[in-house]
A and B are shown apart, each in its own frame.
Chain A
Amino acid sequence: MKAWAWVVLALVVVGAITWAAWPNGGERSARERARDLAAELRCPDCEGLSVLDSSTTTARAIRRDIRDQIAAGASDEEIRQSYVDRYGESILLNPEGEGLGVLVWGLPVLVVVVGAGGLALALRRWRAQPAMRATASDEALVARERGASTT
């Protein structure tokens, strides 16, 4: 594969990852922010449901509190932190990028990087191996055999 093809491939991969990971542009409405935050928080008194999906009194109170905090001018991070302060990290459905959360987010990336490195090394190794070329004696042997078979 030509060098420029590798460059193009790398650009496509990096571009796709960046596009997928980039936060949605544009100003989000208060309603959208409240909805997104409620989807990020675990309902404290139910199993495996987000605050957005739960209908318990507590979940409804949290949804109301999120709306109140947004109306009071709090940022998403401040609202998130206000719940972590009261409930701990377990209130977040998505692990933070620290502690064990590093493993969850970082390990797949590390595996991909190491895998890509390994693949590149293997490809280089295969390319470095000498191609088999026929020597003069090989050519003579083939010519002799062909001559023998046509007569």
Chain B
Amino acid sequence: MRQPTRWIALAVAVVVALVGVVLATQVGGDPRADATKSQLVGELAPDFRVTTLDGQAITTADLAGKAVIVNFWNTWCVPCQEELPALRSFADAHADEPDFAFLGIVRDDTKTAVQAYEPAKTIDWTVVTDPGAKAALAFGTRGQPETFAITPDGFVAGAQIGPSTRADLETLLDAARGRLR
């Protein structure tokens, strides 16, 4: 131990190297980045049970065999209002397809508010409430709007965090049907 400064320098170099290795292997892997994407893509869609405005229950099993688009929305969210025209146009274009289902799950809002919400009165797709926010939790939503594509065999094929355009919705539906754009 005749040269302690060498040992100290070596120790510092080892620390710096370790930090460098960890940083290098984690570039682009910031855990906060996962807030802007869904963890469910590629996974089996969560089981959920939601209720239509007239009180009928809809479960995951009811949607089996269909390409499903699930849109979380509510009446007070401005981006939800902004994406409404795209949702309408998308729903109209696919309304007659028997292998397709479109579900609008109300997130963080009340059934009464939805019933009183004027634009909701002309919505053609199925609007459902989410008692206890269980579906919103199961899908790992952080807000609204968020839209998920589910394949006929029940896997999450894609997700859109934030408002969707018509093109986004078509891409999601293609993903749910196993087609690449």
**Same complex:** yes
- On A, residues with C-beta under 8 Å from B are 44-45, 56-58, 60-62, 64-65, 84-90, 95, 99-103, 107, 110-111, 114, 117-118, 121-122, 124-125
Residue of A nearest to B12 (CB): A114
Residue of B nearest to A43 (CB): B142
The one of A58, A64, A88, A101 in contact with B34, judged by C-beta atoms closer than 8 angstroms, is A88
> Which secondary structure dominates chain B's binding surface?
helix
Contact B31 A95 (CB under 8 A): yes
Question: For chain B residues 17-43, which have a beta carbon within 8 Å of chain A?
Answer: 18-19, 22-23, 26, 29-35, 37, 39-40, 43
Contact B11 A99 (CB under 8 A): no
Q: 6 interchain pairs (CB within 8 A)?
A: A44-B143, A61-B134, A64-B132, A86-B40, A103-B22, A114-B12
Query: Tally of A-B residue pairs with Cβ under 8 A?
Result: 89
A149 to B30, CA, bound (A): 78
The number of residues on chain B lying at the interface, defined by a beta carbon within 8 Å of a beta carbon of chain A, is 36
> Which secondary structure dominates chain A's binding surface?
helix
Contact B35 A90 (CB under 8 A): yes
Within 8 Å CB of A64, what residues of B? 132
